[in-house]
Amino acid sequence: MIKHIRYANLGRADHGWLQSRFHFSFADYYNPQRMGFGKLRVINDDLIKPGYGFDLHPHKNMEIISYIRSGVISHQDSEGNKGQTKAGEIQVMSAGSGIRHSEYNLGAEPLTLYQIWIETNKPETQPRWETQTFPVQPVTDALPLLVSGFAGEQEHALFINQKARIFGGRLDKGAVISHKITAQAYLLASQGQFEISGSGSAQRVILNQGDGAEVTETGELTIKALTDCELVLIDLPA
């Protein structure tokens, strides 16, 4: 089953320097029908103007993933970590027993990113922060694995404390790939337009840039690029 979440129906906030769209209830946006998806608690589609960002603030017992779509984010935290993550890279902050951090757009262009929060399965662990480059060349066979909570998959993926995986990649127009779903998945249309359909189902859904989709009761997903596109797929427990 595929539930289409249209960009126009997302929660929203406009603070001038920050424009956000919320896939789930967050901050002043509250929708009792949109409280999360399995262990997935937050997906914010943020645009941050140059020179602005989030001052030092705390997190605890949450796996926080930032997928940078354009621009550069500058991170600094109470554990002594400091660095930049740019488009084509992804960062993970495992908040564990507690961490304080700040994030700013110190670049010259707008910063756009997905901020993803996944509930941890190992509370009170040592906080940590990591960043990694992910493949930017269009794929023709399988989406690259970017983040994983499964042992043995850390050679090419950042680790989180949850039995979840995050995949992401770009497809050229006309490309068709299949992707197996372990549990259930949330799909994000970062750029362009593509069509998805589930195995054994006649249901077909077209996602446009900014849209999302909940994928349940489906063992395999077929993705067809209707334009050059970029997508993120989060496979996680119910």
Q: How many CB atoms lie within 10 A of CB 37?
A: 22
pLDDT score at 201: 73
Q: How many CB atoms lie within 10 A of CB 173?
A: 14
Exposure string for 45-70, b = 16+ CB within 10 A, e = fewer: bbbbbbeebbeeeebebbbbbbbbbb
Q: Tens digit of pLDDT for each residue in 84-143?
A: 999 989 999 999 999 999 999 999 999 999 999 999 999 999 999 999 998 889 999 999
Q: Which two tokens stand for residue 48?
A: 């941050």
The mean of the pLDDT values for the chain is: 96
Q: Who's near 8: CB < 8 A, 6+ residues apart?
A: none
Q: Tens digit of pLDDT for each residue in 91-107?
A: 999 999 999 999 999 99
CA 26, 32, 38: angle at the middle one, nearest 5?
Answer: 75
What percent of the chain clears pLDDT 90, i.e. is strictly above it?
92
Domain architecture of the chain: domains with CATH: 2-236 (2.60.120.10)
pLDDT score at 156: 83
User: Do 33 and 9 touch, CB atoms closer than 8 A?
Assistant: no
User: Do 52 and 105 touch, CB atoms closer than 8 A?
Assistant: yes
The letter for the amino acid at 75 is H
Measured distance CA(141)–CA(160) in Å, rounded: 25
Measured distance CA(112)–CA(87) in Å, rounded: 9
Kindly give the parts of the chain with pLDDT less than 70: none
Task: Specify the pTM.
Answer: 0.95
- Mode of pairing for the β-strands spanning 158-159 and 145-148: parallel
Point out which residues pair with 145 in neighbouring strands: 167
